[in-house]
């Protein structure tokens, strides 16, 4: 019997009513482990009404009290860390320690949001004219929604919900259909932490649920993370419906390896960032750009050596370096790209197709693949593969290496490995990418900075988490005040006389 999952509305689990479902798989076994209700019109309306009602009191609650509930939630997540990580692995396929990292990077943003009383402070100017002062307020938007991808089912929902809730909004999460159980469990923990019913809701569904949220005027903002075509269309639709939106998309992250880099350090970094989580990270490095033939030959040899030692295995196997990919369709897409790379003339040095894992014969396995001599016209270079496939695109010199990420459609993350401070400074200044690592392969900014890609990796003008998130989830009201001279001068201390 497969479990039937629910929505989470008004502080409790609610059965699906639309009659439409999608399957939730265990990627290690390939089996269906649950079925997920996909929301229809009536359910979308109910969740928005609930959230709108609950937001009134929540928005009026003082920010320090709101922050205390979020801190209690962080404690509960920590208490339940192992249980949450196992649940996450069972639907996503990433290894247990990697699942813990997913949750940890999420609650770090919630911890940052405990500073809401400070982050929500307005500005004040005294005496802008005679007797006139000006101050500004940051007020919640009302009901806001987050639409999130499969690859970080704890972190990304928390990046969105933490600041939105701290700022006094009610939040509707539409998580990925592939791994919705951790979001549902987080909803229970928020209730247990004391969050009033209806302030955080989980609406499970597909395009119909997303369109319903986009079209309803009671939803004031949309935060999206996922693939670029969907990000772009949701951004346009949100604007057409008068909503603010921040929509983050796909990536093709390059790592430039200069001739003076520590090549062992660079090779280790490439293995971890290229193959970790089966390459299903938006900040994964998918293109290595060694500068000069000597660097390239030495680097490729080191990568080949290290790939031999990689272990693909079940999520709960403590010796596994990475697990399966999320779905049979993902495995097929990745294998099609590998074939396209071969057909287009790249050198396939390690072929991860045909990977099996004993005892898990029906899992969605992709072994590590390595391409050399990849050029900018190939589909494996231009498009996001989102799997354990690393491409080596050789560059003759630094300028050519720099031009690769600069000319690429995507601009999420990038890294340079070098011992030369001048090259590193020049790179950080000139590269057209939102997040830059210097001898750091996956430069995901910490909670109190902001996260966001450039070009086709992000649509909207504000980033996720950090101070930007509080700007996104609040509207500014500016108040100009004049008090006419009053009682101070006009007060009479003499008994009025009758006229």
Active-site residue set: 282
User: Shortest approach of ligand NAD to residue 434 CB, angstroms?
Assistant: 9
User: Shortest approach of ligand NAD to residue 137 CB, angstroms?
Assistant: 30
Q: How many residues bind ligand NAD (CB under 6 A)?
A: 26
Closest-CA residue to 167 (of 117, 201, 223): 117
Helix (H, G, I), strand (E, B) or coil at 191: helix
User: Shortest approach of ligand NAD to residue 152 CB, angstroms?
Assistant: 6
Residue pair 461/247 in contact (Cβ under 8 Å)? The answer is: no
Q: Of these, 176, 191, 277, 474, which contacts ligand NAD (CB under 6 A)?
A: 176
Q: Is position 437 an interface residue for ligand NAD (rule: CB under 6 A)? A: no
User: Shortest approach of ligand NAD to residue 158 CB, angstroms?
Assistant: 13
User: Shortest approach of ligand NAD to residue 203 CB, angstroms?
Assistant: 11
Residue pair 423/399 in contact (Cβ under 8 Å)? The answer is: no
Give, as ranges, the residues between 377 and 406 that touch ligand NAD (CB under 6 A): 384, 386
User: Shortest approach of ligand NAD to residue 62 CB, angstroms?
Assistant: 32
Closest-CA residue to 179 (of 274, 277, 253, 312): 277
- Which residues have C-beta within 8 Å of that of residue 291, sequence separation ≥ 6? 256, 257, 258, 259, 395, 396, 397, 398, 400, 401
With respect to ligand NAD, which residue has the nearer C-beta, 95 or 457? Answer: 457
With respect to ligand NAD, which residue has the nearer C-beta, 250 or 363? Answer: 250
Phi and psi, residue 42, nearest 5°: -65, -40
With respect to ligand NAD, which residue has the nearer C-beta, 249 or 274? Answer: 249
With respect to ligand NAD, which residue has the nearer C-beta, 216 or 372? Answer: 216
Give, as ranges, the residues between 183 and 242 that touch ligand NAD (CB under 6 A): 206-207, 210, 225-227, 230
CA-to-CA separations, 374 to 249, 335, 344, 346, in angstroms, rounded: 23, 17, 9, 5
Q: Is position 149 an interface residue for ligand NAD (rule: CB under 6 A)? A: yes
Q: Is position 167 an interface residue for ligand NAD (rule: CB under 6 A)? A: no
Q: Is position 282 an interface residue for ligand NAD (rule: CB under 6 A)? A: yes
Q: Is position 150 an interface residue for ligand NAD (rule: CB under 6 A)? A: yes
Q: Is position 337 an interface residue for ligand NAD (rule: CB under 6 A)? A: no
Taking CB positions, which residue lies at the least distance from ligand NAD?
226
Q: Is position 248 an interface residue for ligand NAD (rule: CB under 6 A)? A: yes
User: Shortest approach of ligand NAD to residue 103 CB, angstroms?
Assistant: 15
Tell me the DSSP string of 349-413.
Answer: EE--TT---TT-TTS-----EEEES--TTSHHHHS---SSEEEE--BSSHHHHHHHHHHSSEESE
Instruction: Using DSSP bridges, classify how beta strands 3-4 and 31-37 pair: parallel, antiparallel or unpaired.
Output: parallel
Closest-CA residue to 168 (of 120, 213, 122): 120
With respect to ligand NAD, which residue has the nearer C-beta, 279 or 290? Answer: 279
Residue 422 burial by Cβ neighbours in a 10 Å radius (0-12, 13-18, 19+):
exposed
Q: Is position 251 an interface residue for ligand NAD (rule: CB under 6 A)? A: yes
Part in contact with ligand NAD (CB under 6 A); list of ranges 16-24, 243-251, 362-370, 419-427? 243-251
- Which residues have C-beta within 8 Å of that of residue 390, sequence separation ≥ 6? 270, 274, 275, 279, 285, 286, 287, 288, 303, 368, 369, 370, 371
* Residues near ligand NAD (CB under 6 A): 147-152, 174, 176-177, 206-207, 210, 225-227, 230, 248-251, 282, 384, 386, 412, 453, 457
């Amino acid at each position: 019997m497969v479990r039937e999952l629910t929505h989470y509305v008004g502080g409790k689990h609610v059965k699906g009513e639309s009659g439409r479902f999608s399957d939730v798989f265990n990627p290690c076994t390939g089996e269906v482990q649950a079925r997920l209700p996909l929301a229809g019109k009536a359910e979308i309306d109910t969740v928005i009404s609930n959230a709108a009602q609950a937001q009134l009191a929540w928005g009026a609650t003082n920010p320090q009290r709101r922050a205390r509930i979020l801190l209690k939630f962080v404690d509960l997540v920590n208490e339940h860390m192992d249980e949450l990580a196992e649940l996450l692995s069972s639907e996503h396929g990433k290894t247990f320690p990697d699942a813990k990292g997913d949750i940890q990077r999420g609650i770090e943003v919630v911890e940052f949001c405990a500073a809401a009383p400070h982050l929500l402070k307005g500005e004040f100017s005294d005496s802008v004219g005679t007797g006139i002062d000006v101050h500004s307020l940051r007020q919640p938007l009302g009901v806001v929604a987050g639409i999130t991808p499969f690859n970080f089912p704890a972190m990304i929902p928390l990046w969105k919900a933490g600041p939105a809730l701290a700022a006094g909004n009610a939040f509707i999460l539409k998580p990925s259909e592939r791994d919705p159980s951790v979001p549902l469990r987080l909803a229970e923990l928020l209730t247990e932490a004391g969050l009033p019913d209806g302030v955080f809701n989980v609406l499970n569904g597909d395009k119909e649920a997303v369109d319903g949220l986009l079209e309803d005027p009671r939803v004031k903002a949309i935060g999206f993370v996922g693939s670029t075509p969907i990000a772009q269309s949701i951004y346009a639709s949100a604007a057409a419906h008068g909503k603010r939106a921040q929509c983050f998309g796909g990536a093709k992250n390059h790592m430039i390896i200069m001739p003076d880099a520590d090549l062992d350090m660079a090779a280790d970094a490439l293995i971890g960032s290229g193959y970790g989580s089966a390459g299903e990270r938006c900040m994964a490095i998918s293109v290595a750009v060694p500068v000069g033939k000597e660097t390239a030959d030495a680097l490729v040899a080191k990568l080949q050596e290290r790939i031999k030692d990689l272990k693909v295995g079940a999520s709960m196997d403590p010796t596994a370096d990475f697990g399966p990919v999320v779905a049979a369709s993902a495995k097929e897409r990745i294998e099609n790209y590998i074939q396209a790379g071969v057909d287009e003339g790249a050198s396939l040095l390690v072929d991860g197709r045909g990977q099996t894992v004993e005892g898990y014969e029906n899992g969605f396995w992709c072994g590590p693949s390595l391409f050399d001599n990849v050029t900018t016209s190939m589909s494996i270079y231009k498009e996001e593969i989102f799997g354990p496939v690393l491409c080596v695109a050789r560059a003759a010199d630094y300028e050519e290496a720099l031009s690769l990420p600069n000319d690429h459609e995507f601009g999420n993350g990038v890294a340079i490995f070098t011992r030369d401070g001048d090259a590193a400074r020049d790179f950080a200044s000139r590269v057209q990418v939102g997040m830059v690592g210097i001898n750091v392969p996956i430069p995901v900014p910490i909670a109190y900075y902001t996260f966001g890609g450039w070009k086709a990796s992000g649509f909207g003008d504000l980033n996720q988490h950090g101070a930007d998130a509080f700007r996104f989830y609040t509207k500014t009201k500016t108040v100009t005040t004049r008090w006419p001279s009053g009682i101070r001068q006009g007060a009479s201390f003499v008994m009025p006389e009758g006229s």
